Amino acid sequence: MNVLHDNMKLVCLDGATLYQVQPTLDARWETLSALCDCTVWERTAPGELVARLKGAQMALTNKTVIDAAAIAQLPDLKYIGVLATGYNVVDIEAAKVAGITVTNIPAYSTASVAQHAIALLLAIVNRVETYASAVSRGEWTESLDFTFRIQDWHELAGKTFGVVGFGNTGQATAAIAAALGMRIAVYTSKNQAELPEGYVKVDLDTLFAESDVVSLHCPLTSETAGLVDARRLGMMKPTAILINTGRGPLVNARDLAEALVEGRIYAAGVDVLDNEPPHFDNPLLAAPRCYITPHIAWSSAEARERLLGIAVENIKAYLGGNPINIVS
């Protein structure tokens, strides 16, 4: 059954996640406006949600939660498009009961996240910030030698790169690490025969104990929450580096901060924290050798453009009566 586009109202609840909304609407939102009556809000507070979606048949959300209580008050709502791969912001069971189609955006940021994970690693081992800052301060100018050394930096070739989770992003990140000459150890449900040549499947404790770098790419579930705790950090080499571009709660922040303070691991590069924006007292903010970026790994210009493009295709397919990327 086809849906009449002219009668469809679409509300995007948190457009600022992707592109500018205020003071003027970014032109890229016009691709949605061409499909139906479209309103884009910069952000939506919980108390504003129901009022903004009243009378709307379709909603787009990135981080704005649409729970069962909200769904019960929105009888006109028939479609929710999540502007991300993870869709835990929507009560899927309540949506099913209400006959609401829920879609997501799969695999749009694989290359971006993989690149950022390796960028965090290179920032740590190559000490780019340390040296660039020193040069800006004039320390190289005052040096007697053509090579100005402050600290050693290290090659990654020959080191072991441990990948926890081997979906699209884990595979892409491992491929870059392998291109740098690193040995790849993988914790995955896949069989050894399904892994690329030279990659070795290992159990989780072995991966933490033997890897020079551990990179997290697994989903956040009740089983993986707190996966990296004091016990597993204690298994790691004192020279090891932890990279987390997955989800903040995969790591116990206090345990990681203590491991860094005590020198039980060398460094950490994280793009995600358990609360975002972080609370002022998050122990990782003051931890030594902890390189933190503000949840930007997914958000390259190319990835955001790709995300919006897929969102448009999702809506077109729904309006055409053949929805795609359904998670409900």
109: nearest Cα among 168, 180, 177: 168
Give the separation between CA 48 and CA 211, rounded to whole angstroms: 47
pLDDT, one tens digit per residue, over 190-231 is: 999 999 999 999 999 999 999 999 999 999 899 999 999 999
262 token code pair: 């005590």
Closest by CA position to 275, among listed 296, 252, 248, 243 = 248
Residue indicated by tokens 């009961």: 97
Query: What is the C-alpha to C-alpha distance for residues 310 and 83, in angstroms, rounded to an integer?
Result: 9
What is the pLDDT of the chain when averaged over all its residues? Answer: 95
Dihedral over Cα of 172, 175, 176, 177: its sign = positive
DSSP class per residue in 168-179: HHHHHHHHHHHH
Residue 51 identity (one-letter amino acid): A
**Length in residues, the chain:** 328
How far apart, in whole angstroms, are the C-alpha atoms of residue 291 and residue 6? 49
Amino acid making up residue 154: H
Model confidence at 3, pLDDT cuts 50, 70, 90, reads very low
Cα 208 off chain centre by: 22
pLDDT in tens, 146-173: 999 998 999 999 999 999 999 999 999 9
How far, in Å, CA of 37 to CA of 170, rounded? 39
Residues labelled catalytic: 247, 276, 295
With contact defined as beta carbons under 8 Å apart, do 78 and 58 qualify? yes
How far is 176 from 180, CA to CA, in rounded Å?
Answer: 6
Least confident of 3-12, 248-257, 310-319: 3-12
Residue 2's pLDDT is: 40
| Rounded Cα–Cα distance for residues 1 and 169 (Å) | 36
CA–CA separation, 133 and 123 (whole Å): 13
Residue 185: which pLDDT band, with cuts at 50, 70 and 90? very high
Q: What is the pLDDT of residue 28?
A: 86
The answer, yes or no, to whether residue 243 has pLDDT greater than 90, is yes
Phi-psi region of 231 (alpha: psi -120 to 50; beta: other; left: phi over 0): alpha
Cα distance between residue 47 and residue 105, in whole Å: 26
Give the range among 5-9, 248-252, 274-278 with minimum mean pLDDT. Answer: 5-9
pLDDT tens, 262-320? 999 999 999 999 999 999 999 999 999 999 999 999 999 999 999 999 999 999 999 99
Q: Average pLDDT of 67-89?
A: 96
In the predicted model, is pLDDT for residue 5 greater than 70? no
Three-state DSSP at 240 gives coil
Confidence category of residue 177, pLDDT binned at 50, 70, 90: very high
Sign of CA dihedral 68, 74, 77, 80: negative
Q: How far apart are CA 97 and CA 131, in angstroms?
A: 58
Instruction: Using pLDDT thresholds of 50, 70 and 90, give the confidence band for residue 6.
Output: low
Q: 232: buried, middle or exposed (CB in 10 Å: 19+, 13-18, 0-12)?
A: buried
Give the residue from 38, 87, 35, 37 showing the smallest Cα distance to 61: 87
Mean pLDDT is highest, among 15-24, 50-59, 218-227, for 50-59
State residue 1's pLDDT score. Answer: 35
Q: Summarize the confidence of residues 90-98 as an average pLDDT.
A: 97
